[in-house]
Every structure is written in C-alpha cells, then in structure tokens.
Amino acid sequence: MSGHSKWATTKRKKARIDQARAKVFNRIIRELTVAARAGGSDPDGNPRLRAAVIKAKAANMPQKNIETNIAKGAGELEGVNYLEITYEGYGPGGTAILVDTVTDNRVRTVAEVRHAFSKHGGNMGEEGSVGWMFKSRGIITVPKDKIGEDALFEFATENGAEDFDASGDEYEIRVEPEHFHSLVDALTKKGLEPSSSELVKVADNMIKVTGADAARAMALLEILDDLDDVQNVHTNAEFDPDEIENL
C-alpha cells in the first residue's frame, strides 16, 4: 500500500490525540445526522449509519447522544438541516485536495475553505477539477495485539479486502466500498473491533512534496481539517517519512 498517503496516517494519529476534544464529537454528530437522514434510523438497514455508530462508540460518545442525533437526522426530533458539500482545490507543489464538509451555512463554509486555501499557498478549483483523480476506498485498521498477521490477512481477503499492510503500528486493510461495511461487520463479529474504519478518497497517483512545499502543504491540510464544518480532507500529497515528524 505504498501509494497510500502519509497524510491519512497523520490524520489518524491526530484524531487519537484529539479524542477528548469537542471537534471529534461534532464531526460524529453531523455524520450520524446526515447518515440517518439519507438512509433511515435503523443501523442494521443503513450501513453508513452503522459505521457512524461504531465510530461514535469508539469515541466514547454517550448512547443517549447517539440516539438523539439519529432521531434528529431521521426527522423524529427537530434538528439542524445539514448539507453535504465537497470542495476541490490545489495545494503547494501542485497537490490536489478534496474537502468534504457538512454544513448548515453554505456561504460561511465556502468562505472559510477559500480563505484557508488562499492563505496557505493553494487555490480553490471548479467542481470536477481534481475529483477525477480520486477513488473511494475503505480503510480499516486493527490493533496488532488482537491477531497474528497471517491469520488476519487470510480472514480479511476472504471477506473482500483488496490490500493489506502490516508495516505500521497497526494492521491496515484496504477494501472496495461495496465490501467495506460487510468486512467491518465480519471483523467485529470475530472479536476484532477495528480501531478505525472509514471510507476515504485515495488518489491513483501521488505527488511527493518535500522541503518548503511539504511544510506549506501540511499546514494547509491541518488548517482545513480544523475548520468546524469540515468532515474529511483528502489529498494526493505524499510526504517523506523522514521529514513528516518535523513538519
């Protein structure tokens, strides 16, 4: 999985550090709401909602909060009407960036995203300008103390995984979107609760950035990721492992 962006790894580490922050709960609340609105309030019949519930429980969100926000999304309780909008743009070094947002104020969100791009060496693009470079993939991570590498590889591939990486701190499994939810369910039923599971957009061709471009690109990605309305940031930027700790 050498083509998988180091930014994704950085994001997961950052997310773990920020578990106690309200930002994490805010993102999960919005995902619960839009998932329930799109597919109904029953997690068993709504794979996207089921994934959001798993993420909420992993973040120790109280069950009452989960149920309330699902009910709001399904229209059973009064709630905020969120819109899902993806913005596209270019970062330092010619890198491509997709920004997934969930917002109750389109004008505010686009202004904040545009400002972040312009302030940190990037620029917004038109719809479709970079989106064609990315494909949706499921990325699932499993703690290494749960199972041996060979056993997990065999189980994951039998349940639809297309790629497997054991080189990091955790096992990382890549899977096509149509097999994502069934693989998460299979792992959970086997007692291998994923430490993270998400659908991300992965670029077919990565662009390696180093030096000043790497520093500016990482700064832009972090600023975008910190915006309240932003759910996910995807890029084809690939950073040198020896540099990334110093960025």
pLDDT for residue 235 is more than 60: yes
pTM: 0.80
- Please report the pLDDT score of residue 247 as a whole number: 57
Contact 187, 194 (CB under 8 A): yes
Q: How many CA atoms lie within 13 A of 175 on its CB side?
A: 26
- Res. 22 pLDDT band, cuts 50 70 90: confident
Enumerate domains of the chain plus CATH numbers.
6-73 (1.10.10.200)
pLDDT for residue 23 is more than 80: yes
- Please report the pLDDT score of residue 155 as a whole number: 95
Q: Which residues have a Cβ under 8 Å from the Cβ of 240 and sit 6 or more positions away?
A: 208, 210, 214
Sequence-distant contacts of 8-14: CB under 8 A, at least 24 apart: 8/139, 8/200, 9/168, 10/218, 10/239, 10/244, 11/225, 11/233, 12/141, 12/196, 14/225
